[in-house]
Amino acid sequence: MDRIEKCREKFEKLFGGKPTQNEGNDPEFMRILQRFIFGEASYVGSLDDRLRELVTITVLSVNQTLPQLKAHVGACLNIGVSPAEIRETVYQCAPFIGFPKTLNAIAATDEVFESKGIALPLQNAETVTEDDRFEKGLDLQRPVYGDEIKDRYAWLPGEFAEATPRFLTELCFSDFMTRKGLDGKTRELLTVVMLAAMGGADEQVRSHVDGALKTGSTKEEIVCALVHAMPYMGFPRLFNALNCAKELLSE
């Protein structure tokens, strides 16, 4: 198949319709967009459509491109991604992009769920309690990242030296990463994409590329996820992520 045929096939699978021909005010732009994303980028590398769409909704959540997020949440449902997987992909953005932006993405996602007749709220996915919250977060954090964050910020004044690394353990690794709905490998891979899409987080990209490798992703899968994210975040952020993690990703 050429890329036009591939675009038609992928677009039908994801959205249940046909790509743009001459419709709308900007048909030329839409043909470029659709043929590149759905006729080329979507076929390069090993990731399946499920992971590609989770990568896509991660970047769209980070960028707050909510109309496109709604379209791709619908695409996720069309190809059999569960509402729980979609929810967890969006939820886990919070420690990285902040709660307000994540709430915007949640609202857009819930709008699609409701339009599809999916009952809300979804089934509870919490696995920690107030009593074991820190320990369970540390159980996830330590094997992959060690205790270096605590030592690195020991210079902070007063109670912040203890509170800041604890907040990372409890909020990021416990409140979100321990939740049901996504496995640890998928969460780490999506975190790499999230940080790349944010820009200006090279140190964290390197750290989480290492984390993704430790939790089971291959170098090819990580590169594939970043390249698939490129049409939604742009070449500069792709190249920044690849360059800062070159030593970890090169053969």
pTM: 0.96
Tens digits of per-residue pLDDT, 9-52? 999 999 999 999 899 999 999 999 999 999 999 999 999 999 99
Integer Cα distance of 54 and 47 in angstroms: 11
Q: What is the mean pLDDT of residues 210-230?
A: 98
Q: What is the mean pLDDT of residues 160-178?
A: 97
The pLDDT value recorded for residue 151 is 87
On the question of pLDDT at 147 being above 90, the answer is: no
On the question of pLDDT at 251 being above 70, the answer is: no
Angle of CA points 147, 193, 56, to nearest 5°: 145
| DSSP state, residue 43 | G
- Mean per-residue pLDDT of the chain: 97
Cβ contacts of 93 within 8 Å, gap of 6 or more = 58, 61, 62, 101, 102, 105, 194
The pLDDT value recorded for residue 192 is 98
Integer Cα distance of 78 and 84 in angstroms: 14
In 92-132, where does DSSP find H-type helix?
94-97, 99-115
* Residue 79, CB-side half-sphere exposure with 13 Å CA sphere: 21
Integer Cα distance of 155 and 149 in angstroms: 11
